[in-house]
Amino acid sequence: MMKRMDFEARALPELENLYRIALYTLDSESDAEDLVEESFVRAYRSWSSHQSGQNCRVWLFRIMAKVYAEKYGTSTEMLAAINSAEGRDENPAPTPLVIEESGNGHGQNPLAAISEDDLKKAVGNLPSTFRFIVVLSLLEDFTYRDIAEIAGIQVPVAKSGMDWGRRVLSNSFSTKWRAKAMKA
């Protein structure tokens, strides 16, 4: 009884956040629901191994990442995809996720300028190996260290993947934003 109450108090508040990340990462609502359900079942079963000082949020996302890796790919595949992306032309120096307004040069956060549907489409165009780590940063504000722990990769790999993902999204948003500005 105490285990259930403690789990509900600490883990259930993250349910919506895990579901949102699952929706951005996967292509279907039912797959997202299945991913989150399986993650919570595993989390509840292993709740006694969760240490009270451990970041519950990171721990829950780590479990979801393991379930995701089992169903859709492994951390090894993610690492290989990130490493192969480093050699591509579209992966220059690290780029913040900011687009430039035409004319005045002031940056604007594309998350504020782009609709949720457009953001989902842009994220959906990322290779699946990158989606998970990119949305962890963009939507949940996890640090590189947290993302590395969650995804089971090293911090430099998380940084590299985020830099590449930001570049792709930034290019996508810049193109879309410029097209909207030209119509106005």
pLDDT by residue for the chain (184 residues), tens only, comes to: 778 898 999 999 999 999 999 998 887 899 999 999 999 999 999 998 887 777 899 999 999 999 988 887 755 555 555 555 544 444 334 344 443 333 334 444 545 666 778 788 888 888 776 788 888 988 888 999 999 999 888 899 888 888 888 888 877 766 655 555 445 4
Domains detected in the chain: 1-72 (1.10.1740.10), 74-184 (no CATH)
Residue 130 and residue 164 in contact, taking contact as beta carbons nearer than 8 Å:
yes
Q: Which two tokens stand for residue 88?
A: 């591509």
Q: Specify the residue for token string 């591509």.
A: 88
User: How many CB atoms lie under 10 A from the CB of residue 11?
Assistant: 21
In whole angstroms, give the CA distance from residue 151 to residue 25: 13
Kindly give, in sequence order, each residue whose CB lies less than 8 Å from that of residue 177, ignoring residues fewer than 6 positions away.
99, 108, 110, 113, 114
Task: Provide the residue type at 80 as one letter.
Answer: A
Coil/strand/helix, residue 132:
helix
Cβ contact 36:15 at 8 Å: yes
The H or E element containing residue 164 is helix 155-183
Please, what sign has the CA dihedral across residues 127, 129, 132, 138? negative
pTM over 0.85: no
Q: Which residue has tokens 């508040």?
A: 13
